[in-house]
Amino acid sequence: MSIQISVDGAVATATISRPEAMNAINMATRAALREAWASLAADDAVRAIVVTGAGERAFCAGVDLKEVQPTRGPARDAFGADGPPSVVAGMDIDKPIIAAVNGVALGGGFELALASDIRIASETARFGLTEVKIGSMPGAGGTQRLVRTIGRSDAMTMLLTGRIVDAAEALRTGIVSSLHAPGDLLDAARALADEIAGCAPLSVAATKRTVRAGDGLPLDAALQLERLAFGLIRDSEDRKEGREAFRAGRKPKFRGV
């Protein structure tokens, strides 16, 4: 299988496993990724997800350009039921996704990381949306998510030149939130996922959904959305448990209700 799933406690790790191809995404891997997101979203025991690539050379080198793509025509690709799925299809789930970028993240691989909620990286990681160099352009959210992540000037520099940046530059611009030695990256990602998994599941889901839904809204509308979500969470059993545990000085036992 091109996607390997492992679960430890409440944390799942999804590993893109095509190291011979720099973990590039072919059609089979696209389908496997969608299946993985759907399966993990439906598993109540999983509360946080880490996505990474096999080995230390590549997180994901993007779409596998060596694979012959079927010719269908632009209309069928855009509107047909059997059009090719995006490399990030299925990632819009309520469970937090942490990208542990362990090597190069290029093209669709970088877009996969951008679609994650949190990105941390190896000190040897490199990032780029290089499509303009081969007569293409990002097509899985890169033009939109990168600008929203690091701001217009830095994003446009990367997008219009196809420039690849190193891990230090990725940290400076905010592409990633932390850097780690290659051997420590997965432990750091899983520790972060464990920390998230220890929080109230409904609160985490509501927070993630509110942040994402509010991205494109004016501030006053986003604040109303937040207030609505807060009102829904306020009477949950987990919120009551959290307050009781705080008063008793004990660790809360959240059940996702």
Cβ(121)–Cβ(151) under 8 Å? no
Average the pLDDT over each of 33-42, 69-78, 112-121 and give the range with the smallest value: 69-78
pLDDT digits 0-9 by tens, 233-254: 998 988 888 888 888 888 888 9
**pLDDT higher than 90, residue 80:** no
Give mean pLDDT, residues 176-202: 97
Q: Decide: helix, strand or coil at residue 193.
A: helix
User: To the nearest whole percent, how much of the chain has pLDDT over 90?
Assistant: 80
CATH numbers and ranges of domains, the chain: 3-197 (3.90.226.10), 201-248 (1.10.12)
Average pLDDT, the chain: 92
What pLDDT sits at residue 145?
96
**pLDDT higher than 90, residue 131:** yes
What pLDDT sits at residue 71?
56
CA-wise closest residue to 205 among 52, 97, 88 = 97
What pLDDT sits at residue 64?
81
List Cα–Cα distances, 220 to 32, 184, 208, 214, 229, in angstroms: 39, 41, 18, 10, 14
Give mean pLDDT, residues 77-81: 59
Ramachandran category for residue 16: left, alpha or beta (phi over 0 → left; psi -120 to 50 → alpha): beta
What pLDDT sits at residue 248?
86
What pLDDT sits at residue 89?
94
What pLDDT sits at residue 216?
85
Give mean pLDDT, residues 79-93: 78
Catalytically annotated residues: 111, 131
- pTM for the full model? 0.91
**pLDDT higher than 80, residue 117:** yes
Q: How many other C-beta atoms are found inside a 10 Å radius of the C-beta of residue 162?
A: 16
Give mean pLDDT, residues 194-220: 94
Q: What are residue 166's DSSP bridge partners?
A: 126
